[in-house]
Amino acid sequence: MQDFEYLMPTNLDQAIGLLKKYENKAALIAGGTDVMVKIGKTRKAPDVLISLRRLSALRYIKKNGGYHIGALTTHRMLEQSTLVQSELSALHDAASQVGSVQIRNVGTLGGNICNAAPSADTAGPLLVLDATAVLEGPLGRRRVPLKEFFTGTYRTVRKPDEVLVEMEIPEDLGRYGSAYWKHTRRKAMELPLIGIAVALKLSQDNSQILDSRIALTVAAPTPIRAYPAEDFLKGKVIADDVLKEAGRIASSADCCTIRTSLRCEAWYREEIVRVFVPRMAKLAAERVKNR
Amino acid sequence: MTEKVGAIGSSIPRRGALDRLTGASMFSADFRLENPLALRAVRSPHSHARVLRIDTEEASRMPGVARIFTARDIPGKNLTGIINKDRPLLVEDKVRFVGDPVALVAAETEEAAERAAGAVNVLYEVLPAVYDPADALANEAPLIHEKGNLLFRRRVVRGDAASAFSSCAVVVEETYRTSFLEHCYLEPDAGAGWVDADGTLVIIASTQNPHYDHSEVAALLGVEDGRIRIIQAATGGGFGSKLDLNMQGFIGLALYHLQRPVRCVYSREETFIATSKRHALIMEMKTGAGKDGRLHAMKCRILCDTGAYGSYGIAVASRAAVHAGGPYEIEHVDTEVLCVYTNNPVAGAMRGFGTPQVAFAHESQMDLLAEKLGMDPFEIRRRNALRVGSVTATGQKLEASVGIGECLDAIKESYEKARSARSDRGDSPFTCRGVGIGAMWYGIGNTGMQNPSTAQVEIDLDGAVTLYTGCADIGQGSTTVLAQIAAGTLGLAPDEIRMIVADTKLTTNAGATSASRQTYISGNAVRDAAAKLVDVLLTEAVDLMKVPKNSLAVEGGFVVYKGDTDRRIAFSKLAARARRKGIPLRWQGYFDPVTSPLNPDTGHGEPYATYAYACHLAEVTVDITTGEVTVDRVVAAHDVGRAIHPEGVVGQICGGVAMGVGFALMEEFKPGVTASFKDYHIPTANDMPEVVPLIVESSEPTGPFGAKGVGEPALIPTAPAVLNALSDALGKRIYHLPANLERVLEAANKRG
């Protein structure tokens, strides 16, 4: 193991103060499920690791003029929240499938987002829930829509002296339903080969799509929204051929840049997008009806 | 001789189970040594390269480095291998795969060892490499070993296959491929060592074969046998890979030169790069049958990629050849297996030794024949199943304990129910269901060669009994089973037997924990030793009780008169009496199964004294739009002769099914690509089907209490059953394992 200094601030101001003090010599660590793996693998560590573990004030799931999820909320907390399960279903789908129970007990939502892997499980659901990231730094708070948060693979708009404190989701989800599919080679302990998140807003009679959001992970250098496919669905009456066409558009170069990697070939990933955009749309619609 | 009720056929608590549960078990990496050095191998980044120079100077001067060894430091013979010696401990002239060790660093800490390993400068001249066994056999192929790239050829010929095909009503001919696999035992390879006061080099190891380790380390170091002691630590699985000398030689070399404690613990990544894999096979198989479904002829040619060194390649090739036809009687057989060197990772022993691969081929062929004949897959197997009196492809007449028919009968009801229920389309319009059978036979012990075991049983003057066995329990439960066999023979309870296990100073050679041989072979050796001791006790009792020997029995630590069980004499009294006469109280048992070597040209002979049989029924659900497969249920019938410890048998079956599901659907080690669990998938609990184990006991007359073995058979039928179920669901067959998402989806897309 590599040597590094490990600091444990007990409040946000301290954490930001430490970030400012050590500048680029420091890195943040929350659950550690990405950071420690990276240190072990690269045999390189920053001089200082600033742990956010004691910032327990940032562990919460609240509904109060919108949904507010603290950055240190663990995947397990999301998994066990009935509020998340019934109203932010896609996020529940994602959080409950991250790693194993042990990993979900320590891995945090903020960590998953700030690590900014193209495969981040919670990114797709948060994108279709139209989430906003709340960052705090020496100059105060700022809010960045998640769709503008990722700037590249493992890169975000977060400045080195900022801490992600919360994910905010707009309140009006009354006629929305959402779902996330993590496509894997086995049924647990896996990264997605491709991830598909869909949120639909339906008319009162559940027949018409009033709003649609589709997000894909592992389909581009960052988690992305599939806008052309979303636009295609808006205003349409929900039907198999319509959803199928949305899947086709989502899998096309208009929406994503799916590639062949060591883990999976491009043709297969594209096929899964074609199959699961409709399936997740149907599941999302089901969930609108069942709410 | 009486059998103590409860000793045999009883699922008593596993020896050491509580220690495992509480964390008290000492694995190799757990030993606390005084100031140990860490060992780290410097491994080749090239798959084929001449080593021009190894510069250790700079690395040697790094902080914490005690010494860096190269091939020149090996005092004895720098060539290892259990069957053919072709593998240097440290490479001297050229590396043959990515991971071949060229130097060994000993340093004060793991970190220092790792840093120094990275600083050893090796100058390589990269040579052309070959990764395909067919290419490796071409005339112009780069030569990996001086003797040529063909390591071994095994033929098995019976009758006249070529002309028999012309009289067949149906013939199917296909090519099957399997991939390299990683064993994925829970405990990565590890060992430790120190030098005893008397100069003995003591090596603690995670191993399947301590006595082999012992002889190999002694030869490497050129020291007398008595200067080495190998002790098997608690071992977290092996599945064949821990039959090779993985770290024992490194530890021996460091102890020899440095005379201070050392430890060598592999990371998971190092086990991936350095240890053996399951052989990838290419199998061209042609099988013909009559209208009645009777098999007439089978011809097959198998290429077996053994990678850079032999390891167990010859055994895998030989066993694949003998088992290629499956558990069926076939009059005309023509099998050729070529075991070929390539610059891939070393392929060695892995649960089943080539039989899981050939079972995939022969069981696919059975279903294809059934389909052409319009016959039920169950029926064609039942008709052809081996039985007592059958003659195998090697010309061996099977005399007893041929339980394949009973295994098939055991799954019949489940099979018929599953077949009639499978037309349900499942829960969604995208899925379909399938049902498949896989059957197998498996020869217990090494193929056509001696593979004896020994054991010692000792009684002390208090009447307490100790069993000494060299048999490595790697988690499968042999220590428990051997205690049961000793107890069953001596009329004691199993927990009354004290066990001394797998320590080359204290125990005699029991051979490898491999080839599903320990229950049958070491079990017989234990029974032999215990029976000799019983005879001594009975003889003494005859003297005292003045009754014939056959009227006496052993029971609960006494010799009792069967006519009146109140007449009894304690073991302790009899032992003391024997001692006074100078009669030994420690007896050696021995067993070597009766086999005869295979003829090099025809393969004729009696390769095994007995065979285990099994069949699995698999029910699967396939998503035809994504290629996802769920194995819903596996009904697994195994003829084990006699289940000494039924829960142990069930454990083997469930573990075997898990491994079989991985082999069938997801496991693939891609040389040069696969580096860790991140890109190597083994099934999780969520991927496991419901397993219904059915124990079939077709008693083996030569087995201890009728027992055979189950360790490897547990795995073998699963993949064939899953693949047959898949093609039942899809109407399309997959010929290349694993049947991963892409391959299943491609097959689904080709459906009519």
pLDDT digit string, tens, across residues A192-245: 999 999 999 999 999 999 999 999 999 999 999 999 999 999 999 999 999 999
**Distance, CA of B384 to chain centre:** 27
Facing B679 at nearest CB: one of A43, A183, A262:
A262
Q: Which residues of A touch B686 (CB under 8 A)?
A: 186-188
Nearest alpha-carbon partner for B40 in B111, B93, B94: B111
Chain pair A-B, CB pairs under 8 angstroms: 40
Please state, in angstroms and rounded to a whole number, the distance separating the CA atoms of residues B714 and B704: 20
Please state, in angstroms and rounded to a whole number, the distance separating the CA atoms of residues B529 and B456: 6
Nearest alpha-carbon partner for A246 in A277, A269, A284: A277
Q: Nearest chain B residue to A97 by CA: give it.
A: B686
CATH class of domain segment(s) A56-172:
alpha beta
Q: Nearest chain A residue to B740 by CA: give it.
A: A185
Chain A CB within 8 Å of residue B740 CB = yes
A240, exposed or middle or buried, with CB in 10 Å at 0-12, 13-18, 19+? exposed
pLDDT of residue B2: 43
CB contact under 8 A, B745 and A271: yes
pLDDT of residue B425: 54
CB contact under 8 A, B681 and A190: yes
Establish if B152 belongs to a structural domain: no
Establish if B194 belongs to a structural domain: yes
Domain boundary pick from B564, B591, B618: B591
**Amino acid occupying residue B661:** V
CA distance A264 to chain B (A): 9
Choose the mutation target among B622, B624, B742, B743 for the interface with A, i.e. most A CBs under 10 Å.
Answer: B742
The pTM of the full predicted model, rounded to 2 decimals, is 0.97
Domain shared by B470 and B347, yes or no: no
Chain A CB within 8 Å of residue B400 CB = no
Nearest alpha-carbon partner for B489 in B458, B531, B457, B454: B531
Cα distances from A247 to residues A198, A216, B509, B525, B659, in angstroms, run 11, 11, 64, 66, 36
Cα distances from B662 to residues B357, B478, B617, B658, B668, in angstroms, run 13, 25, 16, 6, 9
Nearest alpha-carbon partner for B349 in B81, B136, B640, B683: B81
CB contact under 8 A, B745 and A189: no
Question: What proportion of chain A, given as a percentage, has pLDDT over 70?
Answer: 100
CB contact under 8 A, A272 and B666: no
CB contact under 8 A, B666 and A275: no
Domain shared by B397 and B426, yes or no: yes
* pLDDT at residue A276 greater than cutoff 90: yes
Query: B433 and B621 in contact (C-beta within 8 Å)?
Result: yes
Q: What is the mean pLDDT of each run of 10 residues along chain B (752 residues)?
A: 67 95 97 96 98 98 98 98 97 98 98 97 98 97 97 98 97 98 98 98 98 98 98 98 98 98 97 98 98 98 98 98 98 98 98 98 98 98 98 98 98 97 73 97 96 98 97 97 98 97 98 97 98 98 96 97 96 98 98 97 98 98 97 98 98 98 98 94 97 98 98 98 97 98 97 70
Which pLDDT band, with edges at 50, 70 and 90, does A144 fall under?
Answer: very high
Q: Which residues of A touch B742 (CB under 8 A)?
A: 264-265, 268
* 3-state class (DSSP) for residue A204: coil
CB contact under 8 A, B678 and A186: no
CB contact under 8 A, A188 and B687: yes
B598, exposed or middle or buried, with CB in 10 Å at 0-12, 13-18, 19+? buried
Domain shared by B230 and B286, yes or no: no
Return the biggest CA–CA distance within chain A: 61
Phi, psi of A57 (to 5 degrees): -65, -15
Please state, in angstroms and rounded to a whole number, the distance separating the CA atoms of residues B78 and B92: 9
B454, exposed or middle or buried, with CB in 10 Å at 0-12, 13-18, 19+? buried
Domain shared by B210 and B117, yes or no: yes
Cα distances from B113 to residues B64, B91, B103, B117, B265, in angstroms, run 8, 19, 12, 6, 12
Domain shared by B535 and B679, yes or no: no
Please state, in angstroms and rounded to a whole number, the distance separating the CA atoms of residues A10 and A151: 30
Residue A161 is encoded by which pair of tokens? 């002296």
Please state, in angstroms and rounded to a whole number, the distance separating the CA atoms of residues B496 and B586: 17
Q: Which residues of A touch B745 (CB under 8 A)?
A: 268, 271
Domain shared by B225 and B102, yes or no: yes
CA distance B684 to chain A (A): 6
Neighbouring residues of B617: CB distance < 8 A, sequence distance ≥ 6: B411, B414, B415, B418, B435, B436, B437, B633, B634, B635, B636, B721
Establish if B139 belongs to a structural domain: no
Phi, psi of B442 (to 5 degrees): -150, 120
Q: Which residues of B touch A190 (CB under 8 A)?
A: 681
A 159-188 near B (Cβ less than 8 A): 183, 185-188
Chain A CB within 8 Å of residue B429 CB = no
pLDDT of residue A92: 98
Domain shared by B249 and B298, yes or no: no
Chain A CB within 8 Å of residue B171 CB = no
* DSSP one-letter string for A146-165: GGGTEEETTEES--TT-EEE
Give me the half-sphere count of Cα atoms (radius 13 Å) on the Cβ side of residue B654.
15
Span between the terminal Cα atoms of chain A, in Å = 49
Chain B CB within 8 Å of residue A263 CB = yes
Please state, in angstroms and rounded to a whole number, the distance separating the CA atoms of residues A206 and A278: 16
CB contact under 8 A, A186 and B687: yes
Give me the half-sphere count of Cα atoms (radius 13 Å) on the Cβ side of residue B667.
22
Please state, in angstroms and rounded to a whole number, the distance separating the CA atoms of residues B87 and B151: 13
Q: Are domains A5-51 and A56-172 of this chain identical in fold?
A: no
pLDDT of residue B667: 98
Domain count, chain B: 3
The residues pairing with B416 across neighbouring beta strands, listed in sequence order, are none
Query: B259 and B194 in contact (C-beta within 8 Å)?
Result: no
The residues pairing with A7 across neighbouring beta strands, listed in sequence order, are A50
Which uninterrupted H or E stretch holds B560? strand B558-561
Query: A78 and A61 in contact (C-beta within 8 Å)?
Result: yes
CATH class of domain segment(s) A177-289:
alpha beta
Give the count of beta carbons closer than 10 Å to the beta carbon of residue B404: 29
Which uninterrupted H or E stretch holds A49? strand A48-51
Establish if B146 belongs to a structural domain: no
Q: So what's the ipTM on this one?
A: 0.96
CATH number, domain at B502? 3.30.365.10
Q: Is the dihedral of CA B390, B395, B397, B398 positive or negative?
A: negative
Facing B673 at nearest CB: one of A189, A191, A262:
A262
pLDDT of residue A127: 98
Domain shared by B464 and B442, yes or no: no
Exposure string (b/e) for B176-215, b if CB count within 10 Å is 16 or more? bebbbbbbbbebbbbbbbbbeeeebbbbbbbbbbbbbbbb
Residue A145 is encoded by which pair of tokens? 């829509």
Domain shared by B379 and B463, yes or no: no
Residue B301 is encoded by which pair of tokens? 């040619």
Chain B CB within 8 Å of residue A233 CB = no
Q: Parse chain A into domains and list their residue ranges.
A: 5-51, 56-172, 177-289
Domain shared by B423 and B534, yes or no: no
Domain shared by B262 and B287, yes or no: no
Number of alpha helices (DSSP H) and beta strands (DSSP E) in chain B: 18, 26
The residues pairing with B281 across neighbouring beta strands, listed in sequence order, are B304
The conformational region for residue B546 under phi > 0 = left, psi -120 to 50 = alpha, else beta, is left
**Structural domain span for residue B201:** 31-128+184-274
B 643-682 near A (Cβ less than 8 A): 666, 673, 678-679, 681-682
Chain B CB within 8 Å of residue A272 CB = yes
Chain A CB within 8 Å of residue B621 CB = no
Q: Nearest chain B residue to A41 by CA: give it.
A: B269
Domain boundary pick from B226, B245, B274: B274
Facing A187 at nearest CB: one of B111, B678, B686:
B686
CA distance A286 to chain B (A): 15
Q: Which residues of A touch B740 (CB under 8 A)?
A: 185
* 3-state class (DSSP) for residue B70: coil
Facing A185 at nearest CB: one of B111, B625, B741:
B741
Which uninterrupted H or E stretch holds B630? strand B629-639
CB contact under 8 A, A186 and B741: no
Q: Which residues of A touch B625 (CB under 8 A)?
A: 275
* 3-state class (DSSP) for residue B110: helix
User: In what order do the strands lie in the sheet containing A194-202?
Assistant: A176-183, A194-202, A209-217, A224-225
CB contact under 8 A, A186 and B625: no
Domain boundary pick from B531, B556, B591: B591
Neighbouring residues of A192: CB distance < 8 A, sequence distance ≥ 6: A119, A121, A182, A183, A184, A217, A218
CA distance A101 to chain B (A): 13
Nearest alpha-carbon partner for B304 in B327, B331, B330, B323: B323
How many degrees, rounded to 5, is the angle at CA B288 between CA B317 and CA B154?
A: 15
CB contact under 8 A, B681 and A262: no
Chain B CB within 8 Å of residue A190 CB = yes
CB contact under 8 A, A188 and B673: no
Q: Which residues of B touch A183 (CB under 8 A)?
A: 626
Is the bond into B63 cis (omega within 30 degrees of 0)? Answer: no
CATH number, domain at B267? 3.90.1170.50
Question: Would you tell me which CATH number, out of the four given (3.40.50.720, 3.30.1490.190, 3.30.43.10, 3.30.70.1050), belongs to the domain A5-51?
Answer: 3.30.43.10
Please state, in angstroms and rounded to a whole number, the distance separating the CA atoms of residues B684 and B667: 12
CA distance B622 to chain A (A): 13
Which comes out higher in pLDDT, residue A172 or B174?
B174
Helical residues (DSSP H) of chain A, grouped into ranges: 12-22, 35-42, 75-79, 82-87, 89-95, 101-106, 109-115, 123-128, 227-233, 240-251, 266-290
pLDDT of residue B1: 41
Query: B481 and B512 in contact (C-beta within 8 Å)?
Result: no
Domain shared by B416 and B470, yes or no: no
CB contact under 8 A, B679 and A271: no
CB contact under 8 A, A268 and B683: no
CB contact under 8 A, A185 and B673: no
Establish if B137 belongs to a structural domain: no
Q: Which residues of B touch A263 (CB under 8 A)?
A: 679
Neighbouring residues of B724: CB distance < 8 A, sequence distance ≥ 6: B363, B364, B367, B377, B434, B436, B437, B438, B618
